[in-house]
Amino acid sequence: MVSMQSAKRTFTACVFTILATLPLGVFTIPSGSADEELTNPYLGQPDAIDEGLQIYRSKCYVCHHSSGARGPNLFKTKLGDERFLETVINGRKGTQMPAFGLRLSPDEVWKVHAYVKSTDHY
């Protein structure tokens, strides 16, 4: 019978052996600098804008309305793409803006952003 400690050592040795045989390229960070801001991949895409409108209607309108209400007017936002994504996913402390990270996927947030950027009103 094999002891648990022996099994752990064998497993660890196998993992290190496998990792040692992988090409170094597997562990490289994708090109691009850490200073580059994320950009919305859905900007200007009609299907994504339509989906963004539907999401806005069901999740955002209650607070942001057509030109701001409890929340600011999103159609006049000066937030960059990445900051918009971060704000929606994480919320804003000290405000009524909740975190939507568990309710909307990043793609859904991008689509809302594409919609908001495509028009100046709801």
**C-beta atoms surrounding 42 within 10 Å:** 23
Q: Please name the residue that has the structure tokens 């960059």.
A: 80
Phi, psi at residue 27, to the nearest 5°? Answer: -100, 5
pLDDT for the residue 36: 80
33 falls in which pLDDT band (50, 70, 90)? low
Q: Please name the residue that has the structure tokens 């497993």.
A: 11
pLDDT for the residue 53: 98
Contact predicate 39/99, CB 8 Å: no
Each residue of 3-27: pLDDT tens digit?
545 444 544 444 344 444 444 443 3
Provide the terminal-to-terminal Cα distance of the chain, rounded to the nearest Å: 69
Each residue of 43-80: pLDDT tens digit?
999 999 999 999 999 999 999 999 889 999 999 999 99
The rounded distance, in Å, linking the Cα atoms of 78 and 92 is 16
Matching CATH number, 46-118, of 3.90.1300.10, 1.10.760.10, 3.40.1280.10, 3.10.20.30: 1.10.760.10
Is the sign of the CA dihedral 20, 22, 27, 31 positive or negative? positive
SS3 (DSSP) at 115: helix
The rounded distance, in Å, linking the Cα atoms of 47 and 93 is 32
pLDDT for the residue 37: 85
